[in-house]
Amino acid sequence: MSALAPPRPLEGAISWNMNTTCNYRCTYCTQRFKDDRGKWAKDVDAYIAFFASLEGRWEVKLSGGEPFVHPRLEDVVAGIARAGHRVSVVTNFSAEREALTAFREAAGEQLRIFSCSLHLEYVPDLEAWLDKVTWLQAALPAAATLNVHSVATRASLPRLDAIRAAHERRGVVFKVQPEKQEGRVIAYAPAERDAVLALGGHNLLGEVAPSFEGLPCWAGARYFILDENGDAYRCYPARRRRKERLGNVLDGTFALREDARPCPYDYCNCTVPIERGMMPRAEKT
């Protein structure tokens, strides 16, 4: 398949898995087999210096593990904002309101997307959850957005339509993410697959398992993922396969590519570059 790459994105994006630490142990967590779930990016000042060295404006999306258990989260956020980049975060939203307020204040007007993962195994009271979500949404700067997403497990799928409706009644965007095992979407039955699509598909993209194989993608040049050790890869499928490593941002070996290159992977779960238009969207038949 051939297609032209979309225009070079003006703003780059980084998904930083800043720690493996988490206060939850979700049964479907893709990191639950990691040997060490207590690691975090320790050399915060070196990371901030790296972000400050990047040319142009970038969006740094913080994830983990759970970013709010990182002991220096506020310093990280303030440093990224000071460098002129924008800050997004994906969190299990278990942090106290005081910590959420401190995060919002540290990011200031540089806050872009606040993404809350609804882990139903840990949220017995949906109304209390919605109260907290709408409280934060009302306090965000005008340029920032908030969304809630939840993993569509076989157990939760029958509940998700009502849960989506409850969010929409409160003015909150709700998305589902298909469950993954070992880097692949689980083998949903046809009716389950239809239910996931009826909920908007993977992060409202209208597909269960997006693929851009063979198409040019700016990941590696205008997007990359960064782990808690400073290692950078083109995107999540690249990291999973330990391919297309871009070096390490702490030891001086990091180098971005210049151009968009064809995607060699048959499944793309990288919502950040998809939503930011870094590859052509294939025609659906």
Q: How far is the CB of 149 from ligand SF4 (least distance, A)?
A: 11
Task: Candidates 46-54, 105-113, 194-202, 265-273: pick the segment binding ligand SF4 (CB under 6 A).
Answer: 265-273
Task: Candidates 96-104, 124-132, 133-141, 268-276: pick the segment binding ligand SF4 (CB under 6 A).
Answer: 268-276
Q: Report H helices in 170-217.
A: 190-198
List the strands of the sheet with 223-226, edge to edge. Answer: 173-178, 145-152, 111-117, 86-91, 58-63, 12-17, 223-226, 231-233, 245-248
Among 192, 218, 215, residue whose Cα is nearest residue 262: 215
CA-to-CA separations, 21 to 9, 18, 34, 69, 280, in angstroms, rounded? 32, 9, 10, 7, 35
Which is closer to ligand SF4, CB of 94 or CB of 110?
94
Q: How far is the CB of 76 from ligand SF4 (least distance, A)?
A: 17
Contact between 26 and ligand SF4 per CB under 6 A = yes
Q: Which of 69, 111, 199, 270 binds ligand SF4 (CB under 6 A)?
A: 270
Burial (Cβ within 10 Å: 0-12, 13-18, ≥19) of residue 182: exposed
Instruction: State which amino acid sits at residue 234.
Output: R
Q: How far apart are CA 59 and CA 284, in angstroms?
A: 29
Q: How far is the CB of 217 from ligand SF4 (least distance, A)?
A: 3
Using CB under 6 A as the criterion, what x/- string covers residues 62-81 for binding ligand SF4? --xxx---------------
Interface residue list for ligand SF4 (CB under 6 A): 22, 24-26, 29, 31, 64-66, 92, 117, 119, 212, 217, 219, 234-235, 237, 263, 265, 268, 270, 273, 279
